[in-house]
Chains A and B, each alone.
Chain A
Amino acid sequence: MTAFAVRPKRSGSPGGLSRRHALLGGLCLCCAATAGLSARAYAEAFTMEEVGPGIFIRKGLIADASPENVDAIANIGFIVGRDGVLVTESGGSLADGQWLRGQIAKHTDKPVTHVVLSHVHPDHVFGAGAFAAEKPVFIGHAKLREALDARGEFYRQRLIDLFGAERTGPVVYPTMSVADTAEVNLGDRTLSFTAHGPAHTTSDLSMRDSRSGLLFPADLLFVERIPSLDGSLKGWLKELERVKASGATQAVPGHGPVRVDLAPAVADLTTYLTALRDGTKAAIAQDIPIDKAVETVGQDQSGKWQLFEHYNRRNVTVAYQELEWD
């Protein structure tokens, strides 16, 4: 995710996203229950779930960033190893990252040695500031630096608009860059990283834990929440083949449940992306202009994804631009 920050849409009301909250009320009880709370109460409503040995994940809200939720919308968490803690995803804001740091402290006294910056989107990287003082290794895709150069400040401003500079935090850059593959050894477990070609974004990094066998595809895998396209539609479908071939049977997606069976989740995502690709291609072939194509393409997928109405049209817009020059 997230489209709001890439090419932002703003809600008219200062509190933001009331329509989305209304939408969520009907779809997601966990979100409805927390929607009206203060930021702090909101954060306290979250819990970490142990999805594997020493692996703790917090399910992000199926919502867009708002002043109330401080962008706590991605699945974030940590892995405890013999020699230290690796943060799988840092959170959507400094406040979200600080909350995560507090959760880690409840589970272990070990230092945070590594923080993964899975891709450029703000809901995955703005928590990193909460860990900067410990000087962990910030792990990112080789293309992440330039992506943050291009968009980091832009995103930061968007978040500041929503909930202020203090809770937003700084743009944190990777200190370890992965161009192809890399490994990090935590003593009793090894994390293997793969840098992907343009897919969800141009800086997607996936990770596999040796001990649990769990795959951490980050936003290469959306579950429940409609995927947002910000890299390459054709590339994403290609990279999903690599994800499938990883050999993992279960995964921690970037959004949705904290642990899923990989094959059916990838199949569902592939179904949507394929419908998006084929529908957009057909519209282009029939000279249906982009403003009409966004009304129709992918509509048969609407029942399968939350926040569909908010992102599908935008995905069509992005896909159309990619495919119209083919």
Chain B
Amino acid sequence: MRPTLALTVSLALSSFAVCAPLVPAAYAAGASDTDQERAARWQEIAKSIFGDRKIEPTDTLVTLDTPKRAEDAALVPITLSMPERDKIKSVSLVIDDNPAPYAAKFEFGPAADTRELKLRVRVNNYTDMHAVVETTDGKLYEAKQFVKASGGCSAPMGMSDEEAMKGMGDMRMKFADAHPDKPVAATLMIRHPNFSGMQMNQVTREYTPARYIDKLTVSAGDQTVFTMTGDISIASNPVINFSFKPDGKPIQVAASDNQGGRWTHSFPVPSQTN
């Protein structure tokens, strides 16, 4: 089953039914793989995403903080730190052993501050996780972490699909205290089940079709902060912590999902305090 994973790397999956049969295999594999096997898998995935481009390791351009052992495989908090803002064009998060490994890509705009980006993901197996940044000069650099968790993609929601979809598209934004000439830290919360396609519907006993946020754009006024391309590995009710350079205009958020859902919200930025 393993090679199949590489075939489903694409972020643009239209349906995830194909992955249901993978579940039992995914349970069994992963925890005992050798470093060599993991490295080989990463080579395969990296090639399918980045082609033959060289990816160099980095300790500075991006660091990846993960819990060593996740408390809840369906909600694994991840922190990406990219302190050298001017050098960063985009960052991709890859969860090697997830059924769709390419979890998210963030492309940063002029209003972005990249020093800290947090999101919550699902982890289906003991896995390497990779953050790959593309620098403004077109080079790729990677950071890696090993995470112990399993079952996050197929874990039942603990509620009916209808309940899970309640309020879908609702958003909230929280802003940390703003200071003049400093980036503002913000938390974006979106109500959305982000169905993985691997969770069983409680009533029909069929797999709930994948329904996930596939595009999310956050702008400060006319300036883009980031555009995220997402997949089933993002946890339900996505929460993203990011920073931006305020210019006094409201933050605009536009989200869409793979089933045609589309939502936009505008959030006034609190005035700066001295």
Contacts and interface: CB of A to CB of B under 8 A. Distances in A.
Interface of A: 6-10, 12, 146-147, 149-151, 153-154, 157-158, 161, 202, 230-231, 287, 289-291, 294, 313-314, 316-318, 321, 324-325
7 contacts: A8-B151, A9-B71, A10-B148, A150-B202, A151-B158, A291-B67, A325-B189
Interface string B161-205: 000000000001010100000000101010100000000101101
Interface of B: 24, 27, 31, 65, 67, 69-75, 77, 79, 118, 120, 126, 148-152, 154-160, 172, 174, 176, 185, 187, 189, 191, 200, 202-203, 205, 237, 239, 241
Which 5 residue pairs are nearest across A and B when measured between Cβ atoms? Answer: A291-B77, A314-B71, A150-B156, A146-B202, A150-B202
Contacts of A294: 71
Contacts of B70: 9
A153 B205 CA distance: 11
Q: Is the interface of B mostly helix, strand, loop or mixed?
A: loop
B73 A8 contact: yes
B158 A202 contact: yes
B158 A12 contact: no
Contacts of A324: 189, 239
A226 to B, nearest CB: 13
Contacts of A202: 158-159
Nearest to A290: B77
Contact of A154 (B65, B118, B120, B156): B156
Contacts of A12: 31, 126, 148
Contacts of B77: 289-291
Contacts of B205: 149
Given A202-B158, A317-B71, A9 B27 contact: no
B237 A289 contact: no
Given A7-B152, A289-B77, A149 B202 contact: yes
A153 B202 CA distance: 12
Given A7-B73, A151-B158, 14 more contacts: A9-B70, A9-B149, A9-B150, A150-B157, A150-B200, A154-B156, A157-B24, A202-B158, A289-B77, A291-B79, A314-B72, A316-B71, A317-B72, A324-B189
